[in-house]
Structure 1
Amino acid sequence: MSTDERAPAPRLDTRLVVAAIEGDRAAVDRLLSDLRPLVLRYCRGRLGSSFGAEDCAQETLVAVLLALPHYRYETDSFLSFVFGIAAHKVADIYRRRSRDLSEPVADPGDTRAGSSLAAPDEYARTDARLQIGELLSHLPPLHRDLLTLRVILGFTAEETAEALNLPSAVAVRVAQHRSLAKLRQLMKAKTATQSE
């Protein structure tokens, strides 16, 4: 696990963001350095650690850099802006993957050493991710993003409030409680349906 993955999300200095928007090169460098671990954690949480999260984070930071001169600063909205760009970059990667048929796929009968067949625990992790994604898809986007940041990526309530432009950490905790309660209901309903 790299230091970027578990580093606490930086609190962005308003003056730094404004200076970067105004074109101060030192401020731009510092802002991108502060954003990198936050964006990388977001991308890894959405894409997994081995599937282009580094590239996605880099593409996001380049897009932020290009958008800075045109961005109209509003208090406490900059991280939402950055995460919006990151969400689009993640979606772009999923679209590219779905269209890319050049990736070779192992023959199911090929069990020789070195074949690219996934280990059983990889299938279990993929299945768990798909189930979690399916459950989360039933939540409103804000609640889905909140749970992704808090539970999957390990953000603090304060970091999540800042990232999602929520009024306070308390609002994050209340929304998280409601979202988890809704997920429990969905899981119970799904289990009941499967046992019938």
Structure 2
Amino acid sequence: MIASILAGEREQYHELVRPYERSVYKMALSFMKNEADAEDVAQEAFLKAFRKLADFRGQAKFSTWLITITLNEARGRLRRQAIARTESLDESPEEGGHISPALLRDWREVPSAALERQEIRQMLQDAIANLSPLYREVFLLRDVEEFSIEETATALALTAGTVKVRLHRARMMMQKELAPKLKNAGPRRRWFQWS
């Protein structure tokens, strides 16, 4: 497919990158912390990948190469902004300015189960966001995107040993932060019992 794109069939590029759109966006969002910047980073990553497609040598998977471009774009954008973005855990979305519309939910979903799932998802997102970029990158690629050790090492230009050490430390930090919270977030008490 890459050869045909390079030969002039540019319309196939979208088919080439379509399977990776979500992964690229999630990786960008993990760095940029807001949807608009993440979309810009993802779009720029896809454009750079298109421009440099002839440079892809096939030494790594295409997905690894694309994620590497995304990481480099996100890092560069953060450097250019020269600020470290942080989200206040105390600030409600209404106070933060950016409000995304609520997603439509399945009408059969039990509200308490949806609330518990959302609370746990938010705890995980906050814990990942609290990791330093060194550990966050490795954790996201290995445990979220399910890259292999070798693919992660290639994407981050690290040795496999460094990836293993950082992944272990990231998991320990996540466990330390999440264990007490998840213990307290056990199933909600039932207000009634079936007889």
TM-score (norm 2): 0.50
> So what's the TM-score if we normalise by structure 1?
0.49
